């Protein structure tokens, strides 16, 4: 009989490898039979909280529109009239940071036959008035000084400082999220545990959407009335709770 060529060291190594394979199989079997940790069970909810306040700011969209026989003359006329509006805003103590150009448009106009009959230019501004008490008079002065070329396209009520309202709405949203999660967990026969994650859902705009007026023309002969009323501010949160 031919003697074995395997050394004692080689045989020992093979034995260790076999034991390792058996241990791995045992652990895999334990993993399959071991129940999942309760910390892996979660419920995710999204809730909206609200708070109410009286608006103290007015966001106004204003346009200056002019027409003329040539593009150059039309734009020059529009620039002059827009500057007149900006000067009027300074006279009424509107801060430069509260006035922003949103668009400048220049293009041809056409007659019934489709031929170019002239050019039209529009300069659009967004103006924030931080006092509702004086906003109406300032708007009236702005429109009257526009020589029938200034138009108010819309006004929107808002807040100069909404930190407290946002905080109140956020707290309300978290409470609603907890109540919603509890209701869902109860229905599933579970209990709500610790908060895993929590985050704000970013809103689309900084101001509440409350358009109060539109299309007021330059023929106004009285101060524009502004009724503040009350506005509701919303904050949305997304919360992930553990299930016990």
Q: What is the pLDDT of residues 42-89, one digit of tens each?
A: 999 999 999 999 888 899 999 999 999 999 999 999 999 999 999 999
Query: How far apart (Å, rounded) are the C-alpha atoms in residues 52 and 235?
Result: 12
Tell me which residue has tokens 């668009």.
Answer: 103
Residue 231 lies in a domain: no
Range of the domain at 47: 39-52+163-205+236-243
Residue 219 lies in a domain: no
How large is the average pLDDT for residues 210-228? 46
Residues 124 and 64 placed together within one structural domain of the fold: yes
Domain boundary among 94, 123, 158: 158
Query: What's the pLDDT band for 217 if we cut at 50, 70, 90?
Result: very low
Residue 2 lies in a domain: no
The neighbouring-strand residues paired with 50 are: 234
Residues 70 and 100 placed together within one structural domain of the fold: yes
Query: What's the pLDDT band for 233 if we cut at 50, 70, 90?
Result: confident
Q: Which pair of structure tokens corresponds to residue 152?
A: 């108010």
What is the per-residue pLDDT for 173?
96
Q: Are 216 and 63 in contact (CB under 8 A)?
A: no
Residues 153 and 79 placed together within one structural domain of the fold: yes
Residues 112 and 67 placed together within one structural domain of the fold: yes
What is the per-residue pLDDT for 29?
47
Residues 118 and 65 placed together within one structural domain of the fold: yes
Q: How far apart are the first and last CA of the chain?
A: 68
The gap from C-alpha 68 to its chain's centroid, in whole angstroms, comes to 39
Residues 134 and 62 placed together within one structural domain of the fold: yes
Residue 133 lies in a domain: yes
Residues 94 and 131 placed together within one structural domain of the fold: yes
* Other Cβ atoms within 10 Å of 235 Cβ, number: 22
Residue 97 lies in a domain: yes
Mean pLDDT highest for which of 26-30, 39-43, 206-210, 215-219?
39-43
Query: What's the pLDDT band for 220 if we cut at 50, 70, 90?
Result: very low
Question: What are the pLDDT digits (tens) for 147-187?
Answer: 789 998 988 888 888 889 999 999 999 999 999 999 999 99
Residue 102 lies in a domain: yes
Q: Higher pLDDT residue, 208 or 40? A: 40
Residues 71 and 191 placed together within one structural domain of the fold: no
Residue 23 lies in a domain: no
Residues 170 and 92 placed together within one structural domain of the fold: no
CATH number, residue 108: 3.30.70.2970
Tell me which residue has tokens 């909280």.
Answer: 49
The neighbouring-strand residues paired with 43 are: 241
Of 84, 86, 81, 82, which is closest to residue 99 (Cα–Cα)?
A: 86
SS3 category, 13: helix
Q: Which pair of structure tokens corresponds to residue 142?
A: 């702005």
Compute the half-sphere exposure of residue 105: CA atoms within 13 Å on the CB side of its CA. Answer: 14
0.85 exceeded by pTM: no
pLDDT value at 139 more than 80: yes
Domain count across the chain: 2
Query: What's the pLDDT band for 208 if we cut at 50, 70, 90?
Result: very low
Query: What's the pLDDT band for 9 if we cut at 50, 70, 90?
Result: very low
What is the per-residue pLDDT for 190?
94
What is the per-residue pLDDT for 140?
85
């Amino acid at each position: 009989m031919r003697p074995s060529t395997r050394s004692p060291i080689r045989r020992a190594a093979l034995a260790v490898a076999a034991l390792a394979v058996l241990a791995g199989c045992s652990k895999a079997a334990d993993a399959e039979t071991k129940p999942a940790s309760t910390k892996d069970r979660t419920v995710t909810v999204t809730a909206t909280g609200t708070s109410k306040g009286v608006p103290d700011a007015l966001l106004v969209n204003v346009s200056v529109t002019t027409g003329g026989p040539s593009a150059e003359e039309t734009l020059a006329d529009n620039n002059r009239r827009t500057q007149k509006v900006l000067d009027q805003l300074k006279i009424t103590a509107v801060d430069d940071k509260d006035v922003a150009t949103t668009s400048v448009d220049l293009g041809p106009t056409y007659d019934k036959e489709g031929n170019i009959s002239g050019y039209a230019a529009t300069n659009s501004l967004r103006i924030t008035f931080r006092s509702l008490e004086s906003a109406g008079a300032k708007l009236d002065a702005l429109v009257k000084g526009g020589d029938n070329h200034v138009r108010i396209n819309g006004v929107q009520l808002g807040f100069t400082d909404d930190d407290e309202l946002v905080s109140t709405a956020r707290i309300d949203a978290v409470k609603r999220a907890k109540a919603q999660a509890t209701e869902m967990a109860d229905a599933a026969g579970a209990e709500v545990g610790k908060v895993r994650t929590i985050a704000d859902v970013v809103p689309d705009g900084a101001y509440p959407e409350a358009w109060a007026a539109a299309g007021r023309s330059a023929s106004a002969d009285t101060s524009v009335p502004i009724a503040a009323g009350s506005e509701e501010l919303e904050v949305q949160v997304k919360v992930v709770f553990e299930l016990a």
